């Protein structure tokens, strides 16, 4: 029993040191949402317990290796004892108690967060997040706005509806802590309350193919008033045909390949396109009416313009753009006489 004194003392001292370290260490990415407080404090609590167990086990382990090592010239075997039922029961029951208590606490934490598996409440800002290989789109259905940057107000709870087009992705802003998968054929929800103004990134957390590593989109958290101003502007643009189209064309990179002044880029110019005849690579001619324009956007390979290559224009606009965005860009093309 005397042998127990040193390791016990060491356990106590080092546990205190370890707990103090856990308390001070920056264990996680800088927080930027209200939910982070609860997640971080649960994490810290877990680490306190782990630290104590780690110290307890390691001290006794290392102490035993030292104290009970076979010394030079020593022969013979160790002390002969088989078991101690009291001890075994103790180190079964104590962990059971910790598990039950912590399980209860863990269930409370996630329930109190009201972040997953909850209905939308009236004052949540609703955002539909759609993941596709390898980009994100964000729609604000109540305002009729769609973007590729996620812009959020500080201090207001946001109700994310998470969807996926092709494969599973996972919506995660590390600073907001909680992540949730976007799954084809299933809508997941996540409610978060950003509370730090700043710039972050949505980082896809589920392996989704070639460019998974780069499936990141900017997140901007603004003061409530700034957010309102941004949103008013977006709404104005969305409802103004002369502005909505150019914005969509910029956002999806159309103007990188299509000029609006008649010059030839990777793709044909949009100037004077609408309503005119287009000669196609297969020798036929079509009139560029609304249906043709629409088809050229959602299914670029259906008709190839003469003198241009197939497979250059991205083929996923059908899933990445909303109906309204497609209509907006068509309306815009039609203004380019």
d(CA 305, CA 125): 43
Of the pair 211, 315, the CB lying nearest Cu ion is at 211
Q: What are phi and psi of 181, to 5 degrees?
A: -75, 150
d(CA 86, CA 83): 9
- Cβ distance 329 to 248 under 8 Å? yes
Q: Of 211, 110, 219, 127, which Cα lies nearest the Cα of 169?
A: 211
Q: What are phi and psi of 112, to 5 degrees?
A: -65, -25
**Residues in contact with other proteins, shown as a per-residue x/- string from 13 to 32 under the rule CB under 8 A:** --------------xxx---
Instruction: List the interface residues with Cu ion, window 157-196 (CB under 5 A).
Output: 169
Query: Token pair of 213, please?
Result: 């590593």
Of the pair 164, 313, the CB lying nearest other proteins is at 164
Of the pair 169, 258, the CB lying nearest Cu ion is at 169
Stretch near other proteins under the rule CB under 8 A, chosen from 64-72, 151-159, 252-260, 296-304: 64-72
183 binds other proteins (CB under 8 A): yes
333, containing H or E segment: helix 323-335
- Cβ distance 31 to 196 under 8 Å? yes
312 binds other proteins (CB under 8 A): no
Binding-site member from 10, 12, 128, 168 for other proteins (CB under 8 A): 168
Which residues form the interface with ligand HEC (CB under 6 A)? 252-254, 256-258, 266-268, 273, 278, 288, 293, 296-297, 300, 304-305, 308-310, 312-314, 317, 329
Could you tell me the smallest distance in angstroms from the CB atom of residue 92 to other proteins? 6
Binding-site member from 58, 260, 298, 336 for other proteins (CB under 8 A): 58
158, containing H or E segment: strand 158-164
Stretch near Cu ion under the rule CB under 5 A, chosen from 15-23, 97-105, 213-221, 311-319: 213-221
């Amino acid at each position: 029993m005397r042998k127990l004194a040193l390791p016990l003392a060491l356990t106590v001292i080092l546990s205190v040191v370890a707990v103090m370290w856990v308390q001070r260490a920056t264990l996680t990415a800088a927080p930027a949402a209200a939910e982070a407080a609860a997640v971080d404090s649960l994490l810290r609590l877990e680490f306190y317990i782990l630290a104590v167990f780690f110290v307890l086990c390691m001290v006794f382990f290392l102490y035993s290796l030292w104290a009970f090592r076979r010394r030079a010239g020593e022969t013979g075997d160790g002390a002969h004892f088989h078991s101690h039922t009291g001890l075994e029961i103790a180190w079964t029951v104590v962990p059971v108690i910790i598990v039950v208590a912590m399980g209860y606490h863990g269930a409370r934490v996630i329930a109190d967060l009201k972040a997953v598996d909850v209905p939308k409440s009236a004052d949540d800002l609703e955002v539909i997040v759609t993941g596709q290989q390898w980009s994100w789109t964000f729609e604000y259905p109540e305002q009729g706005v769609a973007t590729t940057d996620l812009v959020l107000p500080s201090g207001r709870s946001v109700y994310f509806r998470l969807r996926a087009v092709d494969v599973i992705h996972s919506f995660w802003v590390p600073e907001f802590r909680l992540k949730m998968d976007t799954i084809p054929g299933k809508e997941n929800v996540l409610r978060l309350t950003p509370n730090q103004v700043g710039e972050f990134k949505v980082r896809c957390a589920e392996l989704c193919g070639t460019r998974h590593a780069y499936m990141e989109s900017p997140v901007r958290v603004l003061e409530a008033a700034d957010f309102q101003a941004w949103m008013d502007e977006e709404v104005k643009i969305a409802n103004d045909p002369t502005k909505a189209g150019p914005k969509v064309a910029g956002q999806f990179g159309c103007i990188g390949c299509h000029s609006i002044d008649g010059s030839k880029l990777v793709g044909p110019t949009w100037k004077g396109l609408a309503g005119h005849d287009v000669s196609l690579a297969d020798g036929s001619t079509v009139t560029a009416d609304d249906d043709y324009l629409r088809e050229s956007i959602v299914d670029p390979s259906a008709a190839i313009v003469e003198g241009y290559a197939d497979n250059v224009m991205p083929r996923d606009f059908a899933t990445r753009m909303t109906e309204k965005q497609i209509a907006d860009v068509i309306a815009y093309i039609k203004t380019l006489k």
